[in-house]
Amino acid sequence: MAKVQDPQMLTANRLRDGEVLYWAKGGWVLGLKDGEVFADPKAADAALAESQRDVKNNTVVATYLFDVRVADGVIKPVKEREIIRAKGPTVRGEGKQASHV
């Protein structure tokens, strides 16, 4: 059986200050929980394409899609890297966890 694509989200870094951002309905938000989840890979690809507008206008860099799972309304990235990126460093707590996004 072919591997089923997990739902995806879209992320980037803000060019001017490096802040991690998540795509949400044509714009960017700071918190993973407020980001848009794409169950349909085509919708994810379309969002990635649309987001290039903000690469071209020098707002963001390093756009990419990543896998998530949603359980009981809570979004959890599949990869450890994205969990840490969404929350902040596990060893100090000075990242997004500090600003409660």
Gap between the Cα atoms of 41 and 87, Å rounded:
25
Question: Both tokens of residue 66?
Answer: 């990543």
Specify the stretch interacting with another protein by CB under 8 A; choose among 1-9, 25-33, 41-49, 77-85. 77-85
Specify the stretch interacting with another protein by CB under 8 A; choose among 2-10, 23-31, 38-46, 50-58. 50-58
88 binds another protein (CB under 8 A): yes
90 binds another protein (CB under 8 A): yes
> Measured from the CB of residue 92, what is the shortest distance to another protein in angstroms?
7
91 binds another protein (CB under 8 A): yes
- Beta strand pairing status for 60-71 and 74-77? antiparallel
- Candidates 25, 72, 80, 100; binder of another protein (CB under 8 A) is 80
Inter-CA distances, 31 with 36, 38, 51, 79, 85, Å:
10, 16, 17, 17, 10
